[in-house]
Amino acid sequence: MPSANPPRARGVDRVVELFRQLHIARRPMTMRELIDTTDAPRSSVYELVGILAQADWLEVLPDGSVFFGREMHYYGADYAMQNDLLRRAHQMMMELVSRLGETVQLCILEGNKYTVVLSESSARPFKITSDIGVKVPIPWTASGRLLLGHLTPPEILALIPPEDFALADGSKIDQAQFLKDVYRAGQQGYFMTEGLSDSFSCCMAAPIRSRDGHAIAAFCFMISRDTDGTRREMLLHELLGSAQKLSDLS
């Protein structure tokens, strides 16, 4: 009877895990760190790193640590240029940052977490941003409330791990209030949160919708909490208009 997990499949799994650990670390990792975090045999990690380094998927630095190689950048750039939403969103984000001086992000759900897929930061000394690709608990975000609007309350609570309702400072988000927030976000077509994942920040988010009306992504401004009401209204108007333009193209 053939193995349920043949060597080739295990090798692919280990390559995926190597990439995942490097992305989580967001820095070069030593071989010992890669062996420990992937829980793979030492010989397998050394062999895979050697093969991937020859293909320029990974790069072995002079101190022996390992990080993504230049080929990975080319593949990522190819994907960004081919994906119509990412390409158009990036162009719009650069224009908004240049004109308004605020940090802009494009966010999606990835499984039961939220992640930033594009981010353009303002030139101000005070910056509020999240790292691209880092998975964040959905309840910590304004975008998360918008992106769950197609689910029922039981489906939402089944999706989100209970521990994700605890903020970094140890305080808890009430689940019933969170469900009300999701409903309100859907009714008003945007949402704002203040001081959740960052005590100094306000996040305002507007949905980017598919042709069937589902929110497939969110366009966000990350601003300081001391931004006055008049500027907030102006930024929200800009945000809603930009998200609608991207929705029209989806």
Tokens of 178: 């969170």
**Which ranges in the chain belong to alpha helices (H)?**
7-25, 31-38, 42-54, 70-82, 84-100, 142-147, 153-159, 175-188, 229-249
Give the CATH architecture of domain 7-73: Orthogonal Bundle (1.10)
pTM higher than 0.75 for the full model? Answer: no
- 173 contact partners, CB below 8 Å, separation of at least 6: 139, 165, 166, 167, 196
pLDDT, tens digit (0-9, with 9 covering 90-100), for 16-67: 889 888 888 879 999 999 999 888 888 889 999 999 999 999 999 999 999 9
Q: Using CA atoms, how far apart are residues 193 and 162, in angstroms rounded to an integer? A: 20
5 or 173, higher pLDDT: 173
**Residue 110 pLDDT:** 87
Please write the tens of the pLDDT for every residue from 74-99: 887 777 677 778 888 888 999 999 99
- Average model confidence (pLDDT) across the chain: 86
Percent of the chain with pLDDT over 90: 50
Dihedral angle, C-alpha 10, 16, 17, 21, nearest 10 °? 170
pLDDT exceeds cutoff 90 at 133: no
The superfamily in CATH containing domain 83-249 is GAF domain (3.30.450.40)
Residue 194 has pLDDT above 90, yes or no: no
Most confident of 49-63, 121-135, 197-211: 49-63
CA 82/CA 215 separation, integer angstroms: 21
H helix or E strand, kind and range, residue 118: strand 113-120
In this structure, the number of other CB atoms found within 10 A of the CB of residue 82 comes to: 9
Angle at 140 between CA 138 and CA 142, to 5 degrees: 85
Higher per-residue confidence, 31 vs 6: 31
| The residue to which tokens 């966000």 are assigned | 220
Q: Using the predicted structure, report yes or no on whether residue 198 has a pLDDT greater than 90.
A: no
Tokens matching residue 249: 């193209």
pLDDT given for residue 1 in this prediction: 41
Question: How far apart, in Å, are the Cα atoms of 148 and each of 85, 160, 161, 213?
Answer: 20, 10, 14, 13
- Token reading at 82: 């081919």
More confident residue, 168 or 229: 229
Model confidence at 235, pLDDT cuts 50, 70, 90, reads very high
Residues 6+ apart with CB under 8 A from 161: 112, 137
The residues spanned by each domain of the chain are 7-73, 83-249
d(CA 216, CA 199): 27
Question: Which phi and psi angles does 210 have, rounded to 5°?
Answer: -80, 175
Residue with more model confidence, 120 or 241: 241
